[in-house]
Amino acid sequence: MSEFDDLAKTLEERRRIFSPGWFQDLLAGRLGLGDTFWIGNYGVGLIFVPAAVLLPMLPQLALGPRALTLSSGFLTAGLTLYLAALTRAVFIRARATPQVGGWRWVGVAFTLCHCALAGLVAMIYLLGA
């Protein structure tokens, strides 16, 4: 296999990122541990953070400030569900990647804490605490 073939394969894999099939593979734990952890946690954040800032403002314009709180809460609740599925996927990949050592469990714990924090924020938004 030549360098050109490696480059073509890499470009093809990059085109697949964030497609529906890629998300299925990600959440099923079929990607590598690095992709599952890093792209799952931070790549999706590059999409979620702007959406979490901009989308709740639309209902607020029509319905008032309580709509901002509710729409932010529902978006964060959706993020919590995604992070719960991602935690499961990171756990699956961590079990299958013993050569990484203890860092694989740090990744699982980090993703779990990220999920718990998002759940707490969603509850604060939705319950008005």
Q: pLDDT tens digits for 43-54?
A: 998 999 999 889
Q: What is the pLDDT of residues 99-114, one digit of tens each?
A: 999 999 999 999 999 9
What distance in Å separates the CA atoms of residue 53 and residue 13, rounded to the nearest whole number? 30
Which pTM does this prediction carry?
Answer: 0.87
Burial 8-45 (b: 16+ CB within 10 A, else e): eeeeeeeeeeeeeebeebbbebebebebbbebbbeebe
Nearest to 74 by CA among 24, 27, 121: 121
The tokens of 24 are what? Answer: 């299925």
Other Cβ atoms closer than 10 A to 103: 12
User: For every one of its 129 residues, what pLDDT tens digit does the chain have, with 9 covering 90 and above?
Assistant: 677 777 677 778 778 888 899 999 999 999 999 999 999 999 998 999 999 889 988 888 888 888 999 999 999 999 999 999 999 999 999 999 999 999 999 999 999 999 999 999 999 999 985
User: At CA 74, angle to CA 107 and CA 112, rounded to 5?
Assistant: 15
